[in-house]
Structure 1
Amino acid sequence: MRRFKYFFYLFLFTCLNLAASNKHPLHVSTTEVSYNAKDKTLELSCKIFTDDFEAVLAKLYKQKVDLSNPALKKNMDELVKKYLISHLQLKANGKAVTLNYIGFEIDHEATNIYLEVEKIASLKSVTVSNTILYDQFDDQMSILHVVKGSIRKSTKILYPDQTFTANF
């Protein structure tokens, strides 16, 4: 198992380094869902390359997109929220849950987006349906991590596949 993790992280690191150039050959996003037992919440974070994300937002919503411009922050928050809520769905313990948008931040070449699901008393399973950037690229790769305590379940989903279920 340790060897698998090593190669998985090596693969991820290589993908992210390749994608950091202006014309990155890979289209990849990462989503992590973590169960916070103390607060009884699911905490989500998505990492998407900013240039790809801005391109899909401009294409879909037909407006100027600049995620790093502080003067446009309020408008950009609305676009990011609208996009993520429609391209990322979760089921906890077999039931659809509502994602609450927290916000986003730019981190070098990537945009980190944060969401939360409240009132999850216990967690037996999480199903993630992810179509982030599917409307922009037909070679999109989504890397998903679901974490509960010390247990971490990870996978990669290649377009057109969308769903991953982690059982605990």
Structure 2
Amino acid sequence: MKKLFNPLILCIITSFFITLFAYAHPFYVSISSIDFNNNKKQLEISCRIFYDDLELTLKNQQKQKIDIINPKIKAQADSAIATYIRNNFRIKLEGQTKKLSYVGYEVEDDVAWCYFVIPQVQQINKISITNQLLFQDFKTQSNILHVTVGKNRKSAKLDNPKRTVDFAF
């Protein structure tokens, strides 16, 4: 019986594919949730970003090397993160741009959770979101958005370079 594959060739091919997959380009994604808290009359925003991607972006965009897990100066890390996200994540309610108030961040596994609120929101009929987080540093970046108002939840995926989405409630 004739062998279809030489064991050495099969080993070389297998090694090639293992090496290829080990160095395959990773995917870049963030997930942001925007929830209307009717009791507190505020929008609550959380952005979930891989902390190593965020550190690289802060280094490139703000020329600051920030260790998010163990910052030397926590206030400096907070300021850098708040500034970066405010510059790249914007919300308009009923056509008016709203200021994101920074709450803080925490790291869970390999993700940084960054929290913001927009106070004094009575109701939401139309919300426009611009999300270009990490777009300058990662050309294949995708940003997923989930917006919840009452029992209505709407979602969108913004692939670089698409930055803006509108929702009506």
For normalisation by structure 1, the TM-score amounts to: 0.84
- Partner in structure 1 of residue 161 of structure 2: 160
Please list the CA deviations of residues 38-59 of structure 1 after superposition, one character each: whole Å capped at 9, or x if unmatched.
Answer: 1110100000001111000011
Please list the CA deviations of residues 56-104 of structure 1 after superposition, one character each: whole Å capped at 9, or x if unmatched.
Answer: 0011222221001153211100100110110000011221111101111
Give the 3-state SS of the residue equivalent to 1:102 in structure 2. Answer: strand
State the alpha-carbon separation in 2 of the partners of residues 116 and 78 from structure 1: 16
Please list the CA deviations of residues 92-122 of structure 1 after superposition, one character each: whole Å capped at 9, or x if unmatched.
Answer: 1221111101111111100000001011111
- Partner in structure 1 of residue 17 of structure 2: none
**Aligned-residue RMSD, C-alpha:** 1.6
- Partner in structure 2 of residue 97 of structure 1: 98
Cα separation, partners in 2 of 1:23 and 1:49, compared to 1, 3 Å: farther
List runs of 5+ in structure 2 lacking aligned partners.
1-21
* Percent of residue pairs identical: 32
Cα separation, partners in 2 of 1:23 and 1:44, compared to 1, 3 Å: farther
- Partner in structure 1 of residue 33 of structure 2: 32
State the alpha-carbon separation in 1 of the partners of residues 107 and 118 from structure 2: 22
Give the number of the structure whose alpha-carbon radius of gyration is greater. Answer: 2
- Partner in structure 2 of residue 60 of structure 1: 61
- Partner in structure 1 of residue 12 of structure 2: none
- Partner in structure 2 of residue 46 of structure 1: 47
8 Å CA contact 1:91, 1:127 repeated in 2:
yes
Please list the CA deviations of residues 140-165 of structure 1 after superposition, one character each: whole Å capped at 9, or x if unmatched.
Answer: 10000000111100011100000111
State the alpha-carbon separation in 2 of the partners of residues 109 and 22 from structure 1: 19
Cα separation, partners in 2 of 1:126 and 1:69, compared to 1, 3 Å: same
Letter in 1 for 2:43: L
- Partner in structure 1 of residue 77 of structure 2: 76
The list of structure 1 runs, each at least 4 consecutive aligned residues, that deviate by more than 6 angstroms after superposition, is: 21-24
8 Å CA contact 2:71, 2:77 repeated in 1:
no
Letter in 1 for 2:97: A
State the alpha-carbon separation in 2 of the partners of residues 61 and 126 from structure 1: 29
Give the 3-state SS of the residue equivalent to 1:160 in structure 2. Answer: coil
